Amino acid sequence: MFDVFKSRLELSGTLTTVTALRISQGRSTEPIGSDLPVVKDSLGRPLIPGSSFKGALRSRLESFVRGINSQEAIDPSELVGPTKMRWLKEQKKLYENNDAALTTALLKETDLVSQVFGSPWAAGKFQVRDLTVLPDLWFGQYQERDGVSIDRDTETASEGKLYDFQVVPAGTPFEFKAVVENAKDWELGLLMVGLYQFENEMIPLGGGRSRGLGVVKLNLDEMMWVNPSNPQELIDYLRHLMEGQLQSYIKTPQQIEDLKRSWSMSLLNHLTQLSTEERIHA
């Protein structure tokens, strides 16, 4: 999938907490401080792991695709089961001296979502950096909330189970950067659908979501799209890259909307085909 450069999409923006956010790093062993602190970087500032964002996005898209064709959104835990691992060993042995044939065989067994987000045998096309807080807009403050475990029999607080947890305040902005390489149009459409959910506060992050925590809003500020159609265009891109002159690849708001619409239509056509295949095999 990556042996030949085909395209590169770079996305930049800001992810802002609409409500307080709690992505815990586990129970603290410190004698003072919060029982459940949030994830922080080396400077003590809040951090949203890229894996948390990507996992929430993947989960939402899997639910959509699974409703159309259950075989195209397999639970990741099933991808590493003993049956699948045994099959992988057989394929590697069968195509021991033919990498191209092995890749083709593996991709045929890779569900739609895993083709974009990755699987144990195929790298994902979508990469998200850890989301770091914008330092100029971070005031160094966290909030402490109280929590208590409830006894399900008495429906009252369990004795000795009072705890506190740390949250990032609402209104905290994080820098968002993502890259998509060598993706097909329908794969880009799938990602646009998922990012649309974040843009409209539909995918919460972290823990305490039943309490209303974790609502976030994504604003995509910039899109750089490189899609050379011939060797000369690729050479031009490399020259511009070395000279730091990439402005021509940054899309205007109208161009962004046109690309989103085109990719989304490719996705809908692809999903329609999957739906037809599901009915045929039902």
In a domain, 1, yes or no: no
> What number is the average pLDDT over the span 15-34?
71
Whether residue 222 lies inside any domain: the answer is yes
pLDDT tens digit sequence for 91-142: 778 777 777 777 777 777 788 888 899 887 778 999 999 999 998 888 888 8
Residue 115 maps to a domain? no
Whether 122 and 128 have beta carbons less than 8 Å apart is answered as: no
Which carries the bigger pLDDT value, residue 157 or residue 53? Answer: 53
Select from 195, 162, 160, 200 the least CA-distant residue to 176.
Answer: 195
pLDDT tens per residue across span 169-199: 999 999 999 999 999 999 999 999 999 999 9
**Domain-embedded: residue 2:** no
- Do 26 and 54 belong to one domain? yes
Instruction: State whether 196 and 59 are in the same domain.
Output: yes
187 and 90 in a common domain: no
Looking at 61, 89, 110, the residue that finishes a domain is 110
Residue 32 and residue 104 share a domain: no
At 66 the pLDDT is 87
pTM for the full model?
0.82
pLDDT value at residue 98 = 79
pLDDT-derived band at 6, boundaries 50, 70, 90: very high
Q: Which of 110, 135, 164 is the last residue of a domain?
A: 110
Q: What pLDDT does 112 receive? A: 86
Whether residues 197 and 100 share a domain: the answer is no
156 and 105 assigned to the same domain: no
Indicate whether 197 and 210 sit together in one domain: yes
| Domain contains 231 | yes
User: What range does the domain containing 222 cover?
Assistant: 8-70+120-281
Indicate the number of domains in the chain: 2
Residue 160 lies in a domain: yes
228 occurs within a structural domain: yes
Indicate whether 256 belongs to any domain.
yes
